[in-house]
Amino acid sequence: TDSSQTHTGLAVLVRKSKRDRDMAKDSSKTESIQWLLRSENGDHPAPYYIELEQRRVYCHISIPDDSKQKTISLKCLDGGPSFFVNESLVQVIARGSKGLSTVEDLNYAQRRFAPYNDINVPIPTVNDAFVSRLSSPLAVLQLVGKLLTTLEENFLPAMLNVLSNLGQHYMNAKKSIIAARELSNE
C-alpha cells in the first residue's frame, strides 16, 4: 500500500521473524502495524491479506458472534512463492526453480499482475563497440597523446605503443560483447 494514502479499517500488529527483520530497511524494529487488505477476487487462498517485507501473508478472520468472546482471531498462512502461481507451496518447492514453465501459469500470472516486460537488449557488433570505444573522449585523448609521442621519440617503438593501445581497446570491446551475450542469455 502507498503510505501517503489514508486507510480506515482493520490493522494488525505483526511480530517480525528474524528473516523479516533481516530483509527490512530498519532491522531494529521487531513489530510493525500492517493494514489488513481485502483480496480482489476468488483466486486467493484467503479473503484478507497483509503485505510484509515484499511478501503476502493471507488471513482468515473469525469475528465472535456472541458477547462472551471479545477478541477477533486471525489464522494466517504465508503466501510465499505461491503468491506468483496458482499452486500450493509444497508443489512450488517440489518443482524447484523452473519458474512459470506452463502456459497456464504464465496466463494466470499475467492476468493477476499485468503482462511481463520482454526485455531484449540489442547487442552491438564488435566493430561497433570498438568504434564507440575509440570515439569516447578519453580514448581520443589517449590516442592523440600517443601519436604526438611518435613525433618526439623513435618512430617504431612509439607506433608499436599506439598499435598496442588499439589492440587493447579492441580486446576490451570484444570482452564486453561476450559479457553482454552471456547476460542476455540468462
Tens digits of residue pLDDT in 47-99: 777 777 667 777 777 766 766 666 667 677 665 543 444 555 566 556 555 56
Mean pLDDT of the 122-144 span? 90
> Once rounded to an integer, what is the mean pLDDT over residues 176-182?
87
Is residue 6 classed as helix, strand or coil in its secondary structure? coil
pLDDT of residue 85: 47
Residue 175's pLDDT band (cuts 50, 70, 90) = very high
Start-to-end C-alpha separation, the chain: 32
Pick the more confident residue, 114 or 175: 175
Q: What is the rounded distance in angstroms from the CA atom of residue 179 to the CA atom of residue 186? A: 11
Angle, alpha carbons 79-23-45 (nearest 5°):
5
Residue for grid cell 494488525: 12
SS3 of residue 81 by DSSP: helix
Helices (H), the chain: 18-23, 89-95, 103-113, 126-134, 137-152, 155-185
State the chain's mean pLDDT as an integer: 75
